[in-house]
Amino acid sequence: MLTDQQLLRIPGPTPIPPSVQRAMSQPMIGHRAPETKDLLQRIKPKLKPIFGTAQDVVVMTGSGTAGLETAVVNAVKPDDEVLVIVTGSFGERFVNICEAYQINTHRYDSEWGKTVTPESVKEYLNKYPKVTAVFATFCETSTGVLNPIAELAEVVHNNSEALFIVDGVSCVGGVETKMDEWGIDLLVTGSQKAMMLPGGLTFVAASERAWNVIEENEHPRFYFDFKKYRNQLANNSTPFTPAGSLLFGLEQVLQLVEEEGLEQVFTRHTQMMQMTRAAFKALDIPLLTNDQAASPTVTAIKPFDFQVKDLRNVLYKEFGMVVAGGQQHMKDEIFRIGHMGYCSPADVLQTISVIELGLHKIGKQVELGKGTQAAQEIYLGY
């Protein structure tokens, strides 16, 4: 392998387009300068279609977790009851944030690798009628599950007065998202996944219903005070120093999305998912999720006759390819392939071909090219 070559195929951070890297290398400008106001003014309207909302999308300097914490501290009071739907490691993160703020937190745990069903959520809402917010994860990064957010939102609103708050960090920008139409009250994503940027920005949008709750919430907050960000965004500014280089990059990302077309972006992600899944099915290597639960942005594979760490090691040492392992109790049981953002069907074909070689290297008997051919056939069928 080339010593400075890395093939990054994890579910975030993801590769960055060269034009975005060039945009981020521009000379720094003052964060209160007219140039920054103009930049934010250009960015604002282009974020709305990605979220599927008429509301302004707030851009904050911080990781995706900062956005999740912002949602919690602005929409929930310490004496409130909330329900957190946990389908994996990142559903667990919402629990940890809520408990850190001493919020009365009820959790609904679903088996890792499976979606949550609206019927089961309805049962929990009937069990806990006082909840003021329900938290869910759109794409559970740790398992590659895409939860049925539209259906979950409908159940929440038909059976409670609770806000519906969604972590979309590992899929917004790569899958169709209709915040307003579906009834999502707070939606969060981050910069380092389908948004094709380094980590360091989080994006949060709130419905009018959520804003009514936020306005009345007297829970103390400072940096994460969402009202400050909304008020400053109205003036094309930020309450605190923004990550200027990332804003330059964000504008270029939005330009690339506009040029490709948002629907084509979604189609490309679905195509890459189907190519990846077809490849492992052809190689007789089990997938963690079924087709209905699968995310277009990340695929989890659960082998039974070879060690995940052995494959990951040989992929990295011989080819410079990085795929992700599992998390928590699935650390050594699964590996995960990210196919989002700056990723194309050609990248998927390369990934599958290299993995076939890696499997051969660790002694797993596979027919070389069989998975690649299956992925190629999916491509040709589009």
- Per residue of the chain (382 residues), give pLDDT as tens: 788 889 999 999 999 999 999 999 999 999 999 999 999 999 999 999 999 999 999 999 999 999 999 999 999 998 899 999 999 999 999 999 999 999 999 999 999 999 999 999 999 999 999 999 999 999 999 999 999 999 999 999 999 999 999 999 999 999 999 999 999 999 999 999 999 999 999 999 999 999 999 999 999 999 999 999 999 999 999 999 999 999 999 999 999 999 999 999 999 999 999 999 999 999 999 999 999 999 999 999 999 999 999 999 999 999 999 999 999 999 999 999 999 999 999 999 999 999 999 999 999 999 999 999 999 999 999 9
Asked whether residue 284 is assigned to any structural domain, the reply reads: yes
Domain boundary among 258, 283, 309: 258
Domain boundary among 224, 240, 258: 258
Query: The CATH number of the domain where 266 resides is what?
Result: 3.90.1150.10
Statement to judge: residues 308 and 220 lie in one domain: no
Statement to judge: residues 135 and 271 lie in one domain: no
Which residues are bridge partners to 63 per DSSP?
A: none
Statement to judge: residues 252 and 363 lie in one domain: no
Statement to judge: residues 69 and 98 lie in one domain: yes
Statement to judge: residues 192 and 286 lie in one domain: no
Total domain count, the chain: 2
Asked whether residue 107 is assigned to any structural domain, the reply reads: yes
Asked whether residue 1 is assigned to any structural domain, the reply reads: no
Asked whether residue 327 is assigned to any structural domain, the reply reads: yes
Statement to judge: residues 48 and 190 lie in one domain: yes
Statement to judge: residues 254 and 360 lie in one domain: no
Domain boundary among 235, 258, 281: 258
Asked whether residue 308 is assigned to any structural domain, the reply reads: yes
Statement to judge: residues 28 and 154 lie in one domain: yes
Tokens of 272: 């890459």
Count the neighbouring beta carbons within 10 Å of the beta carbon of residue 277. Answer: 21
Statement to judge: residues 188 and 71 lie in one domain: yes
Query: The CATH number of the domain where 106 resides is what?
Result: 3.40.640.10
pLDDT at residue 370, rounded to an integer? 98
Asked whether residue 26 is assigned to any structural domain, the reply reads: yes
**Which residue range forms the structural domain that includes residue 140?**
18-258
CA 168, distance to chain mean position in Å, is: 5
Asked whether residue 239 is assigned to any structural domain, the reply reads: yes
Statement to judge: residues 83 and 30 lie in one domain: yes
Statement to judge: residues 251 and 355 lie in one domain: no
Statement to judge: residues 200 and 292 lie in one domain: no
Q: Tell me the pTM.
A: 0.97
Asked whether residue 2 is assigned to any structural domain, the reply reads: no
